Amino acid sequence: MRGAAVQNPPGRCIDCLMQLVLHKEEKDRNEIKRKKKIEIGLLLAPGLLIFGLFTVYPIIRLFWMSFFKWDFGSFLDQNFIGLENYKTVLLDPDFRTAFTNTIVYTLVTVPAQMILGLLVAMLINNITVGKIGFRVAYYLPVITSWVIASLVFKYVFNTEGMLNYFLTNVVHLTNGNIHWLDSRWGGMTVAMLLGIWKGIGWNMVVFLAALQAVPQDLYEVASLDGAGAWQKFIYVTLPGIKGTVLFALVMLTIGGFNVYTSTKLITDGKPGHATEVVLTWMYYKAFSNGKFGYSAALSFIIAFILGILAVIEFRLMQNKDQ
């Protein structure tokens, strides 16, 4: 008995008991983690299934379609043609017109929205009375339907529209109606005016949040150093909202490439596809001409361009962090 007591001292028994307890606790924790993983998986499964069916699969299918001759006459017999669709898109003069229109639309609307939005944000940030009212007033165009706004602009700038009536019959500045929408750059100008009007409010909200995050101490120090309003804007405001400016620039550029509703409803590509943009041209080739392979290739060309923009954004953000 004494030998057994020596071989199994009380301390050893307590250690063994503690190890059993710790092992059981670890086992229980692992079981809880496993159950949580199952619960998370069950919660994510419906969303992932929908995402896979309606996002991932269509993208893969569209990419596969871009390498085939796929139109109304070849639904049952698609012929693999490699990069021919991409070549056809890049050599198509109508696509180049649509792409040029998209570039011009983006180059005009993006800076205008940012400058006017920042200006409105600075004005609202500096007033003490009526901030909420001004914010609501400038944000209303953002939540206005693109369809309604486009039809209103089309009515205003139509040959027999409100603007021509005002210029001809009210202020007598013109002798006849001006055909605003019957030329390439006339129609594009109206679409760009709509894009700028719709985007000022969004930029105002974004820049207003950024301006309110700039420390007021910096403005006080700048005032003590004798800086004027312009110097404060250049050396305090702009550096303080640099990240927001970059964010707005990238988002608006992507939005410029995705313009569709306004040009579709205001000009519908007329005259002679001169006012097409890349998305309206893609829609026309797919659903009017039945050139689905062509449209699939066009969509991935635009996606490639937007991917380059995303890389530029990442690099600029990296440089900013450094």
**Tokens 């639309």 label which residue?**
105
Range among 33-47, 48-62, 211-225 rated most confident? 48-62
24 plus 140 within the same structural domain? no
The pLDDT value given to residue 300: 92
Q: Are residues 134 and 212 part of one domain?
A: yes
Q: Is the pLDDT of residue 21 over 80?
A: no
Span of 12-21, 146-155, 158-167, 269-278 with lowest mean pLDDT:
12-21
Alpha carbon distance 177, 99 (integer Å): 30
Answer with the residue of higher pLDDT: 77 or 288: 288
Helix (H, G, I), strand (E, B) or coil at 238: helix
N residues, the chain: 322
- State the average pLDDT over residues 170-182: 84
Question: Is 243 found in the same domain as 111?
Answer: yes
Q: Which of 142-146, 243-247, 314-318 has the highest mean pLDDT?
A: 142-146
User: Domain boundary at 37, 65, 93, which?
Assistant: 65
How large is the angle between the packed helices 184-212 and 146-157, nearest 10 degrees?
130
Q: Is residue 78, in this structure, part of any structural domain at all?
A: no
Domain that holds residue 53: 2-65
Verify that 150 and 257 share a domain, yes or no: yes
- Say if 76 falls within a structural domain: no
Mean pLDDT of 159-163: 84
Same domain, 242 and 297: yes
**pLDDT exceeds 50 at position 159:** yes
- Model pLDDT, residue 1: 43
Mean pLDDT of 43-64: 90
Average pLDDT rounded to a whole number, residues 193-200: 94
Q: Tokens 């449209």 belong to which residue?
A: 295
Q: How confident is the model at residue 4 (pLDDT cuts 50, 70, 90)?
A: very low
Average pLDDT, rounded, for the chain: 85
Query: Do 21 and 97 share a domain, yes or no?
Result: no
Q: What is the dihedral of CA 210, 214, 219, 225, to 10 degrees?
A: -110
Query: Domain check: are 270 and 238 in the same one?
Result: yes
Give dist(CA 245, CA 248) in Å, integer.
Answer: 5
23 and 159 inside one domain: no
Task: Please report whether residue 224 resides in a domain.
Answer: yes
Q: Where are the alpha helices (DSSP H) in the chain?
A: 2-7, 10-51, 57-65, 84-91, 93-126, 131-143, 146-157, 162-165, 184-212, 216-224, 229-232, 238-240, 242-257, 261-266, 278-287, 292-321
What's the confidence (pLDDT) of residue 17?
66
pLDDT at 174 over 70: yes
How far apart CA 74 and CA 68 sit, in angstroms, is 10
Does residue 70 form part of some domain? no
Q: Report residue 49's pLDDT band, with 50, 70 and 90 as the boundaries.
A: very high
- Is 128 inside a domain boundary? yes
Q: In terms of domains, do 117 and 224 share one? A: yes
What is the Cβ-side half-sphere exposure of residue 109, based on CA atoms within 13 angstroms? 29
Residue 197 and residue 262 share a domain: yes
Distances (CA, A) of 301 to 104, 227, 255, 265: 18, 48, 16, 24
pLDDT at 272: 86
